[in-house]
C-alpha cells in the first residue's frame, strides 16, 4: 500500500506541473484550436448532434475531465477516510487558479463556472478513487497457506 501511495505522490507532482502549465498559461490554451472545434461542432450539428452541445458545453466538460485526476490522486494519497478531500482540493485549487488568472493574466478570463466544473471533476475523481479502493479492499481473514 505504501508503494502505491508513493507512486500516487509522484503522479500528483507530474499532474500538478501539467495543470499549472495549462491553468497559468498567459493566453487561453484553446485559442489556437477554437476554430477547428467550432468547425467540428458545426459538422456534428449538421449530422444530427443536438444543438445544445456547443462550445461552452465542450469547454465545461473539458474542465471536468481535467480535474478528475486531481480528486482521484488526493483521495488515493490520503486514503478512503478522506474521500471528501478530492472535491475540497478541487474547489481550493480552482479558486486559486481563477484568482491568479484575474490578478496576473490579463488575457485569461476567470469564471465561477470554471470553479464549479473543476470542483465537480475533482469530486468525481475522488469518488471514483473511493470506489476503486473499496472494491480492492483486502480480504479481512485470508485462509491460511497450505503446506505439504
- 96-115: pLDDT as tens digits: 999 999 999 999 989 999 99
- The residues, ordered by sequence, that sit 6+ positions from 9 with a Cβ below 8 Å of its Cβ are 77
Residue 44 lies in a domain: no
What percentage of the chain carries pLDDT values higher than 70?
96
- Tally of structural domains, the chain: 1
pLDDT at 119: 98
| 63 and 117 Cβ atoms separated by less than 8 Å | yes
Task: Quote the CA–CA distance of 130 and 7 in Å, as a whole number.
Answer: 17
Residue 37 lies in a domain: no
Q: Would you say residue 139 has pLDDT above 70?
A: no
Lowest mean pLDDT among 31-35, 84-88, 126-130: 31-35
Among 39, 90, 85, which residue's Cα sits nearest to residue 68? 90
Mean pLDDT over the full length of the chain: 91
Residue 39 lies in a domain: no
Residue 146 lies in a domain: no
The domain of 113 spans: 2-29+57-135
Residue 123 lies in a domain: yes
Sign of CA dihedral 43, 44, 50, 55: negative
Residue 66 lies in a domain: yes
Residue 48 lies in a domain: no
Amino acid at each position: 500500500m505504501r508503494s502505491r501511495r508513493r507512486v500516487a505522490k509522484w503522479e500528483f507532482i507530474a499532474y500538478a506541473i501539467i495543470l499549472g502549465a495549462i491553468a497559468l498559461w498567459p493566453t487561453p490554451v484553446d485559442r489556437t484550436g477554437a476554430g477547428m472545434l467550432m468547425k467540428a461542432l458545426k459538422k456534428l450539428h449538421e449530422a444530427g448532434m443536438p444543438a445544445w452541445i456547443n462550445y461552452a458545453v465542450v469547454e465545461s466538460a473539458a474542465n471536468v475531465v481535467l480535474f478528475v485526476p486531481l480528486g482521484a490522486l488526493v483521495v488515493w494519497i490520503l486514503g478512503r477516510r478522506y474521500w471528501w478531500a478530492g472535491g475540497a482540493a478541487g474547489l481550493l485549487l480552482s479558486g486559486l487558479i481563477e484568482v491568479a488568472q484575474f490578478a496576473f493574466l490579463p488575457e485569461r478570463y476567470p469564471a465561477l463556472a470554471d470553479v464549479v466544473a473543476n470542483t465537480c471533476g475533482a469530486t468525481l475523481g475522488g469518488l471514483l478513487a473511493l470506489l476503486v479502493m473499496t472494491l480492492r479492499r483486502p480480504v479481512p481473514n485470508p485462509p491460511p497457506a497450505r503446506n505439504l
